[in-house]
């Protein structure tokens, strides 16, 4: 047997240079439990228990107690849900009024959604609502979460209430079936949707895609143009108390719920 081989078939220790590199990485950054506590997962002791139970990963690897992280580059997940832990991240929920533009800057000088929330730090909308559509809109400076929520391969559910033009009998069963199964639009057939008629001419529509003016185009294609459109839910987020033009910050639990709403398996293919 080679004198350098470990006795009894034991796994050899990594080379000294590799141990030194690992120690150097671990010496940088903040302790993981401190970062999780700051993100709202509980006290440091609670966060230590999360790590010890194997529920926390860093860059895809199961974390261990004592792990240090660099919040600028490391991807941290709890129960497979990405955690927004960069300092200075903000998350706003706005009830967008009618006539307001969903953009950072309007070339015609019209009021935009950014006029309703604090100017610092700078935020961007997660997805869009056309100028005539009202309802819930998320604004944040968390680019990673925005990418996850808007990526077409795993868009979260968006629920709308649509008032449409129709007779006293409401929308026909055939049109409802087409809306549910998929509508042929100029940019392709739409994915299956949840569609119900709450009362004649008032539809509840839940879609997973984020095409431009999608709900309006779907309804018009089946012969029932939209008169009024309101987005009432984004994934797990719903708030009936926000008046048009009002906004509030999302809670830590709501941010976690949004992260959990993302299809993690789909993220691996990005």
DSSP 85-116: -STT--EEEEEEPTT-B-SS--TT---BGGGG
Residue 266, pLDDT score: 39
225-266 pLDDT tens trace: 999 999 999 999 999 999 999 999 998 889 888 887 875 433
Q: Residues 173, 207: one domain?
A: yes
Could you tell me the CA-to-CA distances from 118 to 126, 223, 258 in Å, in that order? 16, 41, 22
Is 119 part of any domain? yes
The tokens 């230590």 sit on which residue?
Answer: 48
Segment 160-187 shows an average pLDDT of: 96
Is 210 part of any domain? yes
Residue 21's contacts (CB-CB under 8 Å, 6 or more residues apart) are none
239 is annotated as an active-site residue:
no
Q: How confident is the model at residue 270 (pLDDT cuts 50, 70, 90)?
A: very low
Question: What percent of the chain is predicted at pLDDT more than 90?
Answer: 49
Residue 10, pLDDT score: 52
DSSP state letter for 237:
B
Q: Residues 194, 215: one domain?
A: yes
Choosing from 63, 82, 101, the residue where a domain stops is: 82
Is 192 part of any domain? yes
Q: Residues 212, 237: one domain?
A: yes
Q: Residues 66, 108: one domain?
A: no
Q: Residues 140, 200: one domain?
A: yes
Q: Residues 121, 17: one domain?
A: no
Of the candidates 135, 102, 114, which has an alpha carbon nearest to the alpha carbon of residue 204? 135
Statement: residue 171 has pLDDT above 60: yes
Q: Residues 71, 100: one domain?
A: no
The Cα 181–Cα 211 span in angstroms is: 17
Q: Residues 136, 243: one domain?
A: yes
Residue 218, pLDDT score: 97
Segment 69-76 shows an average pLDDT of: 81
Q: How confident is the model at residue 93 (pLDDT cuts 50, 70, 90)?
A: very high
Is 6 part of any domain? no
Give me 62's structure tokens.
Answer: 């199961």
The Cα 105–Cα 111 span in angstroms is: 9
40-65 pLDDT tens trace: 677 888 889 999 999 999 988 999 99
Choosing from 51, 82, 113, the residue where a domain stops is: 82
Tell me which residue range forms the domain holding 140.
91-264
Q: Of residues 74, 130, 132, 239, which has the active-site annotation?
A: 130
What phi and psi, each to the nearest 5 degrees, are found at residue 103?
A: -160, 165
Task: Identify the CATH number of the domain in which residue 34 sits.
Answer: 3.10.290.10
- Which H/E stretch holds residue 160? strand 158-164
Task: Identify the CATH number of the domain in which residue 171 sits.
Answer: 3.30.2350.10
Q: Residues 70, 164: one domain?
A: no
Segment 180-186 shows an average pLDDT of: 96
Choosing from 35, 58, 82, the residue where a domain stops is: 82
Is 4 part of any domain? no
Average pLDDT, the chain: 84
Reported residue count of the chain is 270
Q: Residues 39, 71: one domain?
A: yes
Q: How many domains does the chain have?
A: 2
Q: Residues 77, 98: one domain?
A: no
The tokens 């709890």 sit on which residue?
Answer: 78
Segment 203-211 shows an average pLDDT of: 93
Q: What totals of helices (H) and strands (E) does the chain contain, helices first?
A: 8, 16
Is 3 part of any domain? no
Q: Residues 97, 209: one domain?
A: yes
Rounded to the nearest 5 degrees, what angle is found at the Cα of 138, between the Cα atoms of 47 and 30? 30
Segment 212-221 shows an average pLDDT of: 96
The Cα 128–Cα 102 span in angstroms is: 6
């Amino acid at each position: 047997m080679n004198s350098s081989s470990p006795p009894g078939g034991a796994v050899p220790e990594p080379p000294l240079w590799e141990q030194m590199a690992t120690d150097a990485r671990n010496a940088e950054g903040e302790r993981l439990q401190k970062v999780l506590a700051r993100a709202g997962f509980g006290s440091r002791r609670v966060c230590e228990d999360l790590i010890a139970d194997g529920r926390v990963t860093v860059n895809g690897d199961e974390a261990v107690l004592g792990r240090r992280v660099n919040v600028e580059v490391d991807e941290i997940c709890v129960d497979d849900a990405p955690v927004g832990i960069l300092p200075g991240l903000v998350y706003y929920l706005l009830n967008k009024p009618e006539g307001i533009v969903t953009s950072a800057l309007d070339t015609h000088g019209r009021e935009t959604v950014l006029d309703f929330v604090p100017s610092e730090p700078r935020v961007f909308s997660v997805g869009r609502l056309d100028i005539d559509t009202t309802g819930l809109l998320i604004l944040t400076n968390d680019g990673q979460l925005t990418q996850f929520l808007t990526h077409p391969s795993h868009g979260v559910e968006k629920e709308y209430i649509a008032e449409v033009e129709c007779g006293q009998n409401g929308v026909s069963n055939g049109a409802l079936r087409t809306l549910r199964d998929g509508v042929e639009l100029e940019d392709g057939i739409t994915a299956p949707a949840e569609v119900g008629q709450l009362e004649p001419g008032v539809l509840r529509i839940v879609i997973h895609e984020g095409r431009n003016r999608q709900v309006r185009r779907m309804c018009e294609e089946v012969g029932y143009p939209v008169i009024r459109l309101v987005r009432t839910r984004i994934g797990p987020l719903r708030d009936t108390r926000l008046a048009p033009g009002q906004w509030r910050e999302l809670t830590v639990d709501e941010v976690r719920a949004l992260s959990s709403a993302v299809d993690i398996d789909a993220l691996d293919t990005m």
